[in-house]
A = this chain, B = another copy of it.
Amino acid sequence: MDDYLVNINGELFLGPEAKISVFDRGFLYGDSIYEATRTFNKKAFRLNLHLDRLFFSAEKIDMPLTYTRKELIAEVEKTISASAHKDASIRIVVTRGTNSEISLNPKFAEKNNLVIFLKPIKPNPSSWLSEGVSMIFHHKSQSLSGAFAKTGNYQENMLAHKAAVEKEAYDAFMVNSDGHITEATTSNAWIIKDNILYTPPLDDGLLGGITRLALIEMSQAQLLPIPLVLKSLSTDDFIKADECFITSTMRNLVPVTKIEGRPVGDGRPGTLTLRLLSLYLDFAHKD
């Protein structure tokens, strides 16, 4: 944590010094929401879209935001200015606040705690482009209703990710109770089949990623070489795909070349996947 700069309610700390009350509801109950974005040359990428989603998450879990959008932007910018790093990852956490009593009742917390983490971003390992990554499936125990908000309740995703790592895979695709893939533990899921690009619709119970949205926008602007279709997808659709990849703000597009030990297509990062990555990077840098 040495390379992190942390802003807690407007005060800046080095990573190891950044502490929060044990009465914080995020700590006690996972009662928090968050966003993760990055900077390009000291500018936060699509911050307004991330804040839109933060406000949406707050509404979903009925959490009053005691910070305004303007204040949140100011704190993010203050954190970026205080750091020497031009390209950094940024995590914005808002908890319901510090409780005066240990109680589920939210009335015991008066105002939010805001915690912003900044650290220099590492480039993706080059093997991700040359070899791709491998994935497993994780059948979700949670139903869909909570999936749209980006909250501090990440235990199931953590267990899915842990199971993947134990099987020497990179990450897990989450499968909902209808047998549909929703997303990976911290990224969105995509396949290409017969020159059509597919990703699951929000209704299947997933977080609408900002990179996912960018690809949808690019499709609408006719910037993609193949059509994009939002469609519920089964584990079988993924296994039989020609190409597969995941998207996240921090990692852009990552080719998936193996699922549950079986190669996707010819087992190499897909040609179309790599072309989409290159188009996306152009788009993101212009944005």
Contact = CB atoms under 8 A, between A and B. Distances in A.
A165 B103 CA distance: 12
B141 A146 contact: yes
Contacts of A165: 105, 107
A182 interface: no
Contact of A22 (B25, B61, B102, B115): B115
Interface string A114-154: 01010100000000000000000000011111100001111
Interface in A12-60: 15-16, 18-32
Contacts of A162: 62, 104-106
A252 interface: no
Contacts of A117: 22, 102
Interface of A: 1, 4, 6, 8, 15-16, 18-32, 61-62, 91, 93, 98-102, 104-107, 115, 117, 119, 141-146, 151-159, 161-162, 165, 177, 185-186
Given A20-B22, A142-B146, A104 B157 contact: yes
A225 to B, nearest CB: 33
A159 B61 contact: yes
Contact of A104 (B29, B31, B158): B158
Contacts of A1: 21, 23, 98-101
Nearest to A144: B141
A146 B155 contact: yes
A15 B105 CA distance: 18
Contacts of A61: 155, 159
Contacts of A156: 146
Given A100-B1, A161-B104, A24 B23 contact: no
B27 A152 contact: yes
24 contacts: A1-B23, A1-B99, A1-B100, A4-B102, A8-B22, A19-B19, A20-B22, A22-B93, A24-B27, A27-B152, A28-B93, A30-B153, A30-B154, A30-B155, A31-B154, A104-B154, A104-B157, A104-B161, A105-B162, A105-B165, A106-B162, A141-B146, A146-B155, A152-B155
Kindly list the 3 A-B residue pairs having the minimum CB-CB distance in the complex, ordered from nearest.
A30-B30, A141-B145, A19-B19
Contacts of A115: 22
Contacts of A159: 61-62
